[in-house]
Amino acid sequence: MNCSAKVVQRWDIPQEEAAKRLGLTRPRTTDLLRGKLANFSLDALVNIAASATSGEATTAFAALVNPALRLRPERC
């Protein structure tokens, strides 16, 4: 499971609500949660991180785009 999926699961909300929080459609949210990051541009991932409201979410989404952060699983 990728960091983004862990963060959304911790929110404990329906996928439609997670999509709204992230500024995505539900199908795009599904792609993100399933780890299909190749479907997103770097700009899109940065925008997703910016639209995430909690610091925890921002850190986890930053790990998606920064390889150095991926080496620290405790950040997820």
pLDDT tens-digit readout, 38-63: 999 988 887 787 776 555 555 666 66
Please indicate, yes or no, if residue 76 is contained in any of the structural domains.
no
Instruction: State residue 12's pLDDT score.
Output: 87
Q: What is the DSSP string of the chain?
A: --HHHHHHHHHT--HHHHHHHHT--HHHHHHHHTT-GGGS-HHHHHHHHHH--SHHHHHHHHHHH-HHHHT-GGG-
State residue 4's pLDDT score.
73
pLDDT of residue 52: 66
Residue 67: the pLDDT is 61
CATH of the domain at 59: 1.10.260
Q: Which domain holds residue 39?
A: 3-69
* pLDDT tier at 24, thresholds 50, 70, 90: very high
Domain for residue 58, yes or no? yes
